[in-house]
A and B are shown apart, each in its own frame.
Chain A
Amino acid sequence: MSASTAETSTVGTAGPGTAKASRPRRRGLRPDGPWPWIFVLPTVLGVAVFYLWPILKTFYLSFTTVGVFGGSTFTGLANYLTMFSDPQIPQSILNTAIYTVIVMLGIPIAVGLASLIERPGMRFRGLYRTLYFIPYVTMPAAVGIVWRLIFNGDFGPINWFLSLFGIAGPYWLATPGFALVAVSIVGLWMSLGFNLIIISAGLREIPADLYEAAQVDGASRFRQFRSITVPLLTPSIFFVSIITVVNGFQLFDLLYVMLGKSNLAMPQTQSLVYIFYNEAFLQNNQGYASAIGILILVIIAALTAVQFRLQRKWVNYV
């Protein structure tokens, strides 16, 4: 995968400075003998059997028409041709991208909140961390039902709140556009706690002396935040954004629970994985579903590779 090779080259340098190659290749002097193989063998075997084999099988099936209960006939590129002419596909890629971008807004929010929590002399840190982390622990099916009620157009608390200001709220979960925003808000809500913990942890790694020096120089708090906190947090932010993209493209359960069947807003809300599941398990179209699965793999791999390339431009490793 190009993703990992790009990444190996930059990430391997843990020393000061951002460029490659500052460390001499000491490792090269002394090979590790059979040990690396012994170390990776269990994982490689397990991954090969339980994960790689299904992916290879999916790749093969994407060129076939599959019977509901097994058996397949080779149909060449037919599934891919169908996929490229299916208007649902580009729309759902767009939906997924919008969802991911909105959920990513949670990253700056997490940075802001974490820097408040990790402020020097701050009390109740444990309480705050727990409050923000709770949504990450919830069961999606149960919490989806709750959010469905919260976003209800006629009786939900959100529209009630808006009505206090004379605003007639929309039918959040049944209006194209709004439905995607509502689902994204829930996605953001669920992931914020995880992001916050990662960012908090990153904050604690920033040496206190830097702030002290800045204070001596008379830098304002905001200035310190911009010039010290954010740059030094970039590795954590980078990690969180990788995870957000990978997870964003897996959006699925929330759509089922929150939107339900025959929803007018579904075409403008459904994700690629939602279409994949529908085709594979509800419409018994596994060959076509496999092609969609491969498309998802290619998109995420490409995005990850791009993120790793771009990281050199903005991520600071200390």
Chain B
Amino acid sequence: MSENVSTAAVLGQNAAELQREARRPRRHRTQSNAGAHTVLLIGGLIMVSPLIYQVIMSLSTNQQVESAPPTIWPGVLQWHNYLDVFAQMPFGQELWITAAITAVRLVGQLLLCSIAGYAFARMRFTARGVILGVILSIIMVPAQIYLIPQYQIIQGLGWLNTVIGIAAPGVFSAFGTFLMRQFFLGLPQELEDAARIDGASSFMIFWRIMLPLASNGLWALGIITVLWSWNDLMWPLVVTSSAGSAPLSVGLANLQGVHGNNYPVLMAASLMAMLPILILFIVLQKRVVAGIGRSGLK
């Protein structure tokens, strides 16, 4: 036992070294980057301009938004649109539900996709290729196919209108399993072999050695799961029927009336809904880039 631990410790050190190497700053060059900055800035402005437009719309009156041609600058900024969001939807509560659903899916996917991904990458068992192929096929059909059957299953389990019910199908991910498999394939085989010689069990190898090495891949999977879960609309719309159980995406959709929309409030609400994950990205972007980079994807 102690031997295993020590092997793991040594290998862990190796891993840390590997990571440090990857982060090692590149040597500066003398060439000017002014041209690059110009291109990136112009491109970046084009990329965010629809969002800027959205921000302007969120500060206009509805009449200004609906007029043709649309008013480019609203003059008086209608900041109250952001406050109106709270009057028109239970934003705080829906945010909380969205966060809870996302958390369940996140934890589930990180756990299940990493163990399954590892097995598909590094373990040998009967029909491995076939099972993986079947799992992959589920990302190849339109998601709407799942709607009615999944509803009936969740209903049968008595999970309608619950966080677990909304989250359940999304805990299992073919994409995540594939991603993690690719990641584990990219990790050096030697570490594992060394541990095997030391007599570590398959589980110990995974848990003590491979999973810590995979932490960057988990970051990548995590951010993808969070983004997808945050905006997921049709499924929660169908499984939730009481106002108190719906997530933000459903609340946003519900702001749309039949005749006449309050576009500024709609835009304000969608910007507010987007803000938490945008902040998350800004804070985590270095880790995300590193994570996806190391995910092998080869």
Binding site for B on A (CB under 8 A): 1-5, 8, 11-12, 14, 23, 26-28, 30-33, 35-37, 39-40, 42-44, 46-47, 49-55, 57-58, 113, 116-117, 119-124, 126-143, 145-147, 149-150, 152, 154-155, 189, 192-193, 197-198, 200-205, 208, 212, 221, 235-236, 238-239, 246, 249-250, 252, 272-273, 276-277, 280-281, 290, 293-294, 296-297, 300-301, 304, 315, 317
Q: What CA separation (Å) do A192 and B205 show in the bound complex?
A: 37
| A174 CB, nearest partner CB in chain B, Å | 15
Contacts of A155 in B (CB 8 A): 68-70
CA distance A173 to B103 in the complex (A): 39
Contact A55 B138, beta carbon cutoff 8 Å: yes
A246 contacts B145, C-beta separation under 8 Å:
no
Measured between beta carbons, the chain A residues less than 8 angstroms from B271 are 142
Known: A32-B124, A39-B116, A47-B138. A113 touches B144 (CB 8 A): no
In the complex, the answer to whether B281 meets A133 with C-beta atoms within 8 Å is yes
Interface string of B139-174 (1 = CB under 8 A from A): 111111110111001000000000000001101101
A-B contact pairs, 29 of them (CB 8 A): A5-B129, A11-B182, A26-B189, A26-B193, A27-B124, A36-B119, A39-B116, A40-B115, A40-B116, A40-B131, A43-B135, A44-B131, A51-B146, A55-B137, A116-B40, A128-B44, A130-B282, A134-B48, A139-B249, A140-B231, A143-B54, A146-B267, A150-B53, A154-B68, A200-B289, A200-B293, A235-B296, A276-B142, A315-B298
Chain B 171-199 near chain A by CB (<8 Å), digits 1 or 0? 11010010000100110110001001000
Chain A residues with CB under 8 Å of B177's CB are 43
Given contacts A27-B122, A47-B135, A239-B297, contact A54 B145 (CB under 8 A): yes
Q: A130-B285, A204-B293 are in contact. Are A119 and B138 (CB under 8 A)?
A: no
Chain B residues contacting A235 (CB-CB under 8 Å) are 296-298
B36 within 8 A of partner (CB): yes
- In the assembled complex, the Cα of A154 lies from the Cα of B142 at a distance in Å of 35
Listed in ascending order, the chain B residues whose CB lies under 8 Å from chain A are 22, 24, 26-29, 31, 33, 36-37, 39-40, 43-45, 47-48, 50-51, 53-54, 57, 68-70, 112-113, 115-116, 118-120, 122-125, 128-146, 148-150, 153, 168-169, 171-172, 174, 177, 182, 185-186, 188-189, 193, 196, 201-203, 206, 227, 231, 233, 249, 252-253, 263, 266-267, 270-271, 273-274, 277-278, 281-282, 285-286, 288-298
Contact: A202 with B293, CB < 8 Å? yes
Cross-interface CB contact of B285 among A35, A133, A280, A297, cutoff 8 Å: A133
In the assembled complex, the Cα of A139 lies from the Cα of B193 at a distance in Å of 46
Known interface pairs A51-B172, A154-B68, A317-B298. Does A139 touch B29 (Cβ–Cβ under 8 Å)?
no
Task: Find the A residue at minimum CB distance from B124.
Answer: A27
Top 8 A-B pairs ranked by shortest CB distance? A1-B133, A201-B293, A46-B172, A131-B44, A235-B298, A142-B270, A155-B69, A39-B119
Knowing A39-B119, A54-B146, A58-B141 touch, does A239 contact B47 (C-beta < 8 A)?
no
